[in-house]
Amino acid sequence: MAYDYRHMVALADPTRRRVFELVAQRPRSVAELTHSLPVSQPAVSQHLKVLRDAHLVRAEPRGASNVYHIDPQGLGEMRAWLDSMWTDALGSFREAISKSMETKE
């Protein structure tokens, strides 16, 4: 069940981020993405693979071209992680605060 942070890894690279943002705006083919970016087509394909594996985008074949759109699953998993982090981590954070209050007063 352990969260594997694939989404963070995927979004850590600036170019890959740009790919994701472009796809998030509206569905786009690989050729279209390549034209909007300062890197080669294979580079774009490689980034898309990482984003696909992280369930952040999904490919939809449309004839010879491959149209990518957002995959809600990735964002959903991130949100779930963030929510649990919010309660767990910030819970113990609050405890620590109270304790340091006690110590100081």
Interaction site with DNA (CB under 7 A): 9, 12-13, 15-16, 29-32, 34, 38-50, 59, 63-67
DSSP string, 13-74: SHHHHHHHHHHHHS-EEHHHHHHTSSS-HHHHHHHHHHHHHTTSEEEEEETTEEEEEE-HHH
Here's the x/- map for a second copy, 14-33, by CB under 8 A: it reads as x--x------xxxx------
Task: With CB under 8 A as the rule, give the number of residues binding a second copy.
Answer: 27
CA distances from 87 to 12, 45, 47, 81, 92 (A): 25, 37, 33, 10, 9
- Name the minimum Å distance from CB 49 to a second copy: 17
| Residues making contact with a second copy (CB under 8 A) | 5, 7-9, 11-12, 14, 17, 24-27, 69-70, 72, 75, 78-79, 82, 85-86, 88-90, 92-93, 96
